[in-house]
Copies of this chain bind each other. A is one copy, B any other.
Amino acid sequence: MVIVMKPGAPQEIIEKIEKKMISLGCEVHKSQGENYCLLGLVGDTRKINPSQIEANPYVEKLLRVQHPFKLASKLFHPEDSIIEVDGVKIGGGNITIMAGPCSVESEDQLMTIAYAVKKEGAHMLRGGAYKPRTSPYSFQGMQEEGLKLLKKAKEGTGMPIVTEVMGQDTFDVVEEYADILQIGARNMQNFSLLKRCGKSTRPILLKRGLSATIEELLMSAEYIMANGNPNVILCERGIRTFETYTRNTLDLSAVPVIKELSHLPIIIDPSHATGKWSMVEPLSKASIAVGADGLIIEVHHQPECALSDGAQSLKPEKFARLMRSIEKIAAIK
């Protein structure tokens, strides 16, 4: 951490801050320039409350050196984490494909899609039972009924289940049925929910918020890990930009960035990122080429009848083609 004092900061104030920092257990190295005085802090800076330093009217700014996450950091855990769910491995060089409908709509719909994606090589089944919708008047999901159907689909196909948990009130029931619990982009900084995830025995699929930085995503992973659950899978699903032709902008550079910063697996959701089925295949190929650990893809046999997100759902035959494309790219990595 580096404290930059304002030009003209009185010597006694600078000394007072130095003493305070030393008393908190830091070493302080002062560099006095013509205009600015810098205080370089090394040692254990965890006891420092940055807000209190910045509140000093003679402090220009605080420059941070170290990333604020530890458990999620590659620095302290250099090997890639591999998360295993019912025999499916995520991370560590494996490419894991999660596929299924946006929402569970009926037994017939779910079974048709589940068997179709299984046949093409998907490893896990996705499907929403509790749906976060921008409008209170939109379909909110089949709820527990949907969870029961997911369980049935798992029994039939053998694929483990990933489904979203939206709040603490429904956490226990979702946890009972799901193999991986998904936290949606809009809940990425719902800290109460993250703490609850920390107490869960299920792995968490944590989606990046719409305008979140990668550091903020990793801090949300840190919340879960610091509360007791080390099994976090990160998911890039597009960020909000000024571009309107796609729903969001898929940030594929997040993959090599996260590989530098963290040991956690990172998967890509090209369906929500683009909002258009025609863009899912090219961006899936790019995702594998850039080094992602997997994909989560929306598939529906009748997109025009889907209760949500039909425009971004692939029909099973398009999903089949996509699987063949990415296999070839995965093979040459």
Q: Which of B192, B196, B226, B306 contacts A137 (CB 8 A)?
A: B226
Q: B38 contacts A42, CB within 8 Å?
A: yes
Q: Within the assembled complex, what's the spacing in Å between the Cα atoms of A30 and B34? A: 18
Chain A positions 142-158 with a Cβ under 8 Å from a chain B Cβ? none
Q: Are A40 and B40 in contact (CB under 8 A)?
A: yes
Query: Is A11 among interface residues, defined by CB-CB distance under 8 A?
Result: no
> Contacts A35-B75, A36-B42 known; A252 to B286 CB distance under 8 Å?
yes
A251-286 interface bits toward B, Cβ cutoff 8 Å, 1 = contact, 0 = none = 111111100110000000000011001110011011
| In the complex, chain B residues whose CB is within 8 Å of the CB of A215 | 244-245
Chain B CB within 8 A of A92 CB: no
In the complex, whether A25 has a CB less than 8 A from a CB of chain B is: no
Q: Give complex CA distance A34, B75 in Å.
A: 12
Complex-state Cα separation, A249 to B328, whole angstroms: 27
> Which listed residue (B38, B137, B282, B287) contacts A65, Cβ 8 A?
B38
Chain B's closest residue to A76 (CB) is B35
Q: Are B43 and A33 in contact (CB under 8 A)?
A: yes
A90 contacts B by Cβ under 8 Å: no
- From A261, A288, A290, residue with most partner B Cβ within 10 Å: A290
Cβ of A241 under 8 Å from chain B: yes
Taking the nearest CB of chain B, how far is it from the CB of A93, in angstroms? 15
Chain B, residue nearest A140 (CB): B191
Q: How far is the CA of A75 from the CA of B41 in the complex (A)?
A: 26
Q: Give chain B nearest CB distance to A315 CB in angstroms.
A: 10
Q: In the assembled complex, how far is the CB of residue A102 from the closest CB belonging to chain B, in whole angstroms?
A: 9
Is residue A132 contacting chain B, with contact meaning CB distance below 8 A?
Answer: yes
Most-contacted residue by chain B among A137, A214, A244, A287 (CB, 10 A): A137
Evaluate contact between B65 and A36: CB separation under 8 angstroms. yes
> What B residues does A286 contact at CB under 8 A?
252, 286-287, 289-290
Contact call A52/B137, Cβ cutoff below 8 A: no
Interface residues of A in 194-245 (CB under 8 A from B): 196, 210-216, 219, 222-223, 226-227, 239-245
**Distance in angstroms between the alpha carbons of A328 and B328 in the assembled complex:** 10
Judge if A187 is at the interface, Cβ distance under 8 Å.
yes
Asked if A23 lies at the interface with its beta carbon under 8 angstroms from chain B, I say: no
B51 contacts A311, C-beta separation under 8 Å: yes
Within 95-152 of A, Cβ neighbours of B (below 8 Å) are at 132-137, 139
What CA separation (Å) do A40 and B250 show in the bound complex? 32
Residues in B neighbouring A241, C-beta threshold 8 A: 239, 241, 249, 251
When the two chains form their complex, are residues B219 and A135 in contact, meaning their CB atoms are under 8 A apart? Answer: yes
A280 to chain B, nearest CB (A): 9
Taking A42-B31, A134-B219, A240-B211 as contacts, is the C-beta distance between A51 and B283 under 8 angstroms? no
What's the nearest-Cβ distance from chain B to residue A90, in Å?
19
Q: Provide 23 A-B residue pairs closer than 8 Å at the C-beta atoms, listed in order of the A residue.
A: A4-B65, A29-B38, A49-B139, A51-B311, A52-B306, A54-B310, A55-B277, A55-B311, A133-B191, A134-B216, A136-B222, A166-B192, A167-B192, A167-B193, A170-B192, A187-B190, A211-B240, A215-B245, A239-B249, A242-B242, A250-B252, A252-B286, A286-B289
Ranked 7 nearest A-B pairs via Cβ = A167-B192, A55-B310, A33-B42, A211-B211, A31-B40, A289-B289, A54-B311
